[in-house]
Amino acid sequence: MPQNLTPSTQFIITSRGSRLLYCMGHTYYVNCRRRQNKSRVLWYCSCRRSKRCFASILTLDDRVVGQAPKHTHPPKLPLDII
């Protein structure tokens, strides 16, 4: 799987085995309902419901190709502390 992401962006696996995208202190989950195909994925901020945060990232073949980066909350802890 290519990891053509920025240095501060990476995929992580949760304790339940789900895949998350980590970018600059924020985590994103896959929005399965809008998944066009296996190579194009829309990721929503993990605080979408709790903080009404509508930040999102679009990946194509695991590469970030677009984003709506405005969050309604501060970033979480750095990945090495989570």
CB 42 within 8 A of CB 52: no
Task: Tokens for 45, please give them.
Answer: 């901020």
Express each pLDDT in 62-72 by its tens digit.
Answer: 888 888 889 99
The reported pLDDT for the residue numbered 32 is 67
Per-residue pLDDT of the chain (82 residues; tens, 9 = 90+): 344 555 578 999 989 999 999 988 899 999 865 555 778 889 999 999 999 999 999 988 888 888 888 999 998 866 654 4
Q: Where are the domains of the chain?
A: 9-68
The reported pLDDT for the residue numbered 67 is 87
Query: DSSP label at 51?
Result: S
Compute the distance between CA of residue 43 and CA of residue 57 in angstroms, rounded to an integer: 5
The reported pLDDT for the residue numbered 61 is 85
